[in-house]
Structure 1
Amino acid sequence: MSGPSSPSRRPGLRVGSFGGAPIYLSGGLLIAAVVLAVLVAPGMSDLMTLAPGGGAPILASIAFAVLFLGSVLVHELAHGTVARWCGIEVRAYTLTFWGGHTTFTALDRPGASAAVSAAGPVSNLALAGLGWLVLQAPLPEVAGVILASLVYANVVLAVLNLLPVPPLDGGHLLEAVIWGATGERGRAMVIVGWVGRLLAVLTLGAVVASAVRGAAEIVWSVWLVLIAVVLWTSATRSIRVGRARQAARGFDLRPFLRPAAVMTTEDPLPGQRGEGEGSLGALPPIPWGMSVGLTVVVDGDGAVVGILDADALAAIPPQARAGLTVASVVRRVPSAGVRSLRGADALAEISRALAGGDVAVVTGAHGVLGTVWREDVVRALGDQGAAGR
């Protein structure tokens, strides 16, 4: 499972969608399937009594690898399904060399984070239980070996994912528990990060100990070293982000908000000759003494489309504006939906939005709150950093 993510280039080949979110297969997935098939091939041969040689074990290994990757996809789809139940938008599902991840707009509540994290391992246990029930019926040997291996693999996948370290589901689950108990997500991320570092060191130590005893297998040793590196990297990132969140607890978005007028894409262009209602003049009056810098454009459902491009509007002579709507002069800009105007979540959300442009529209539960300029935030944070040194 993965957390919030900003839109970026496609992470792989799109093969479909689920619940409106695209499903991608990365280039490393084929490598993972080959490696997995090679690793399980000897075991498949040992399990087969009727056809231990020939091509049967190879075909069984390939079938197992493909079906196991299907189990990983079910795991990710379970994350996304529960996320949608919790009112969280799912952006994409991606299967990679290391398994898979699901990206969301935000996991900003500990209860929702815990539920989404637990969904993946629970789905694998459900698959294992279903497979075990099927195994109670007579099956051809090859099918039985493949299915029994899948049952075992799904149990292992569920158990490993419940280890309390990032980036595994157990790490997110532990983070959610600590977050809910303390009310501080940053502290939870730091604690989970140190647990992850400890497990990474223990994993690497186990590889070294096996090598010293002469009992290490090269393929598994390389695999475990790679896992240790991933665990250490993810744990370090968790600590870094957690400390950043702790430092951002005092962040307040309100001083950066600039008031904005709001128009819809269907409103006629302002400044038309003989215009009446439906222009800027028909908007609710702005409070005395408050200046409005930008005009935010929304669609018929109230979703932010962008801002009114003043330069594009000025390029259209007033006599040529008749019949044109605001949709013709919209400049696309990112938007940030915030649940709170203070704290690390507000800073994280506005930072993600401003990564895609110099200005972002901020929305809340009741619509557009205003606009925020990147230069204002960067300048203020830079001044705070200088004052702290």
Structure 2
Amino acid sequence: MTETVRLGRIAGVRVGANWSVLAIVVLITVGLAAGRFPLVAPGMPVVLYAIAGVVAALVFLLSLLAHEVSHAVVAQRNGLAVEGITLWLFGGVASLRGEPASPGADLRIAGVGPLVSAVLGVVFLGAAAMAGLAGAAQLLVAALGWLGVINFVLAVFNLIPAAPLDGGRVLRAALWRWSGDRQRAAIIAAGAGRVFGFVLIGLGLAQVVFFRGFSGLWLALIGWFLVNAAGAEQQYAAGQQALAGIRVSDVMSADPVTAAPDLPVQQLLDRYVMHHRFSTFPLLGADGRLAGLVTLDRIRQVPSDSRASMRLLDVACPPDEVPAAGVEEPLADLLPRMAGCADGRAVVLDGARQVVGIVSPSDISRAVQGPRYHPA
């Protein structure tokens, strides 16, 4: 999910929001201000209902953020890098770089989110009960009670064993531990996600047709998202299966053309791009180590009148953000890391941390499409 607004960092993780998150705020605010709050706390001015609705919606977004931050923190503790967290129309997503190393790590990362939501549910319901006993305003009690219930709903819904929900990850971890085959477990969990998504679509459309309940459209929309997300996970897992037994050295483009970090962008175009059929150039420092990675896509973003003065280092993907792999590393292990500013590329390093090759999306495609590699 694309980040529209960057909100900052929590626990070292970049946090952002997509513009579609505004739909959550509007839907919750209208639903509470025009529906629930006037019923449980009647006789108050409309503006107070609206303010309480907005505040409740924003606190709910913070609850979603806490859910995702818990995933990110546990992922980091289990050796995974976290690219960022994005809040959007259907909640939030923590983007992890790579896959858990074991079923136990997979289970811990998946399970902590619903656990945090359940704890928040207890906290908010407890606060609502204490506020009620203390004689606080009915509107405050109603808002706290709603936040408690909605966090419990979030926890329970996420525990449904259907990827990409957290429960689907738990199912994947259990199947992985039982069978020893991570990719097969992922395919089964994603298949369950597609089935569940189609069920939600059917229930939502039935609600619209037979009961004229237009909230069924929202249910169908959630189902449609699950079907598509689960389908993408199935394809990814199938691709991982196809790469089984293939090493990075089997697919990499060896001995890539390199450039100096201080070289102007225009000179790269004149000296290298015009004479080589490459679209990716590692930048090497004086010590021969990787100083960055430049792709034609990044160069195209440089205005033509700035190319003579701007250095390659100024437009390169920083070395600590470039995916790197060893020569003998399984290609399937590298694939999840091939994202970010390197435009889907990765560098291959030898034992001395020298660049000896590049892996590109086209290299991956050739590996998946045909059995042209025969690892020893």
TM-score normalised according to structure 2 size: 0.74
Question: Which structure 2 residues correspond to residues 262-277 of structure 1 after superposition, within 5 A?
Answer: none
The answer to whether the Cα contact below 8 Å between 1:164 and 1:192 also exists between their aligned partners in 2 is yes
Provide the C-alpha distance between the structure 2 equivalents of 1:329 and 1:225, rounded to a whole number of angstroms.
Answer: 48
Provide the C-alpha distance between the structure 1 equivalents of 2:365 and 2:228, rounded to a whole number of angstroms.
Answer: 30
Question: Which structure 2 residues correspond to residues 64-79 of structure 1 after superposition, within 5 A?
Answer: 64-79=56-71
Question: Which structure 2 residues correspond to residues 151-170 of structure 1 after superposition, within 5 A?
Answer: 151-170=148-167
Alignment-derived partner of residue 323 in structure 1: none
C-alpha distance 365-38 of structure 1, shift in aligned 2 (>3 A): farther
The answer to whether the Cα contact below 8 Å between 1:353 and 1:360 also exists between their aligned partners in 2 is no
Give me the CA root mean square deviation. 3.8
Alignment-derived partner of residue 345 in structure 1: 333
C-alpha distance 203-364 of structure 1, shift in aligned 2 (>3 A): farther
Provide the C-alpha distance between the structure 1 equivalents of 2:164 and 2:236, rounded to a whole number of angstroms.
Answer: 13
Q: 2:121 aligns with which of 120, 125, 128?
A: 128
Q: Compute the displacement of 1:244 (Å).
A: 1.4
Question: Which structure 2 residues correspond to residues 355-370 of structure 1 after superposition, within 5 A?
Answer: 356=343, 360-363=346-349, 367-368=353-354, 370=356
Provide the C-alpha distance between the structure 2 equivalents of 1:64 and 1:173, rounded to a whole number of angstroms.
Answer: 30
Deviation string, structure 1 residues 254-307 (Cα, Å, up to 9, x no partner): 2345479x9x99xxxxxxxxxxxxxxxxxxxxxxxxxxxx9874799x984237
The answer as to 2:241 corresponding to 1:254 is no
Q: Could you tell me which amino acid in structure 2 is paired with residue 155 of structure 1?
A: F
Q: Compute the displacement of 1:211 (Å).
A: 4.2
Q: 2:186 aligns with which of 189, 198, 218?
A: 189
Q: 1:25 aligns with which of 17, 25, 36?
A: 17
Alignment-derived partner of residue 217 in structure 1: 213
Alignment-derived partner of residue 48 in structure 1: 41
Provide the C-alpha distance between the structure 2 equivalents of 1:207 and 1:345, rounded to a whole number of angstroms.
Answer: 39
Which sections of structure 1, spanning at least 5 residues, go unmatched?
3-9, 266-293, 309-327
Query: Secondary structure of 1:94's match?
Result: strand
Q: Compute the displacement of 1:184 (Å).
A: 2.3
C-alpha distance 160-368 of structure 1, shift in aligned 2 (>3 A): farther
Give the number of the structure whose alpha-carbon radius of gyration is greater: 1
C-alpha distance 299-193 of structure 1, shift in aligned 2 (>3 A): farther
Q: 1:227 aligns with which of 222, 225, 233?
A: 222
Q: Compute the displacement of 1:134 (Å).
A: 2.2
Q: Could you tell me which amino acid in structure 1 is paired with residue 213 of structure 2?
A: E
Report which of the two has the higher share of helix: 2
The answer as to 2:116 corresponding to 1:116 is no
Instruction: Give the number of aligned pairs.
Output: 328
Q: Compute the displacement of 1:20 (Å).
A: 2.6
Question: Which structure 2 residues correspond to residues 81-96 of structure 1 after superposition, within 5 A?
Answer: 81-96=73-88
Provide the C-alpha distance between the structure 2 equivalents of 1:151 and 1:353, rounded to a whole number of angstroms.
Answer: 37
C-alpha distance 70-187 of structure 1, shift in aligned 2 (>3 A): same
Q: Compute the displacement of 1:201 (Å).
A: 2.1
Provide the C-alpha distance between the structure 2 equivalents of 1:198 and 1:160, rounded to a whole number of angstroms.
Answer: 15
Deviation string, structure 1 residues 346-381 (Cα, Å, up to 9, x no partner): 34545x489627x74225898457322549836953
C-alpha distance 126-304 of structure 1, shift in aligned 2 (>3 A): farther
The answer as to 2:94 corresponding to 1:102 is yes
Q: Could you tell me which amino acid in structure 2 is paired with residue 342 of structure 1?
A: P
Q: 1:239 aligns with which of 231, 234, 237?
A: 234
Query: Secondary structure of 1:55's match?
Result: helix
The answer to whether the Cα contact below 8 Å between 1:80 and 1:102 also exists between their aligned partners in 2 is yes
Q: Could you tell me which amino acid in structure 1 is paired with residue 322 of structure 2?
A: S
The answer to whether the Cα contact below 8 Å between 1:17 and 1:23 also exists between their aligned partners in 2 is yes
TM-score normalised according to structure 1 size: 0.72
Q: Compute the displacement of 1:338 (Å).
A: 4.0
Query: Secondary structure of 2:370's match?
Result: helix
Question: Which structure 2 residues correspond to residues 271-310 of structure 1 after superposition, within 5 A?
Answer: 297=284, 304-306=290-292
C-alpha distance 365-157 of structure 1, shift in aligned 2 (>3 A): farther
Alignment-derived partner of residue 206 in structure 1: 203
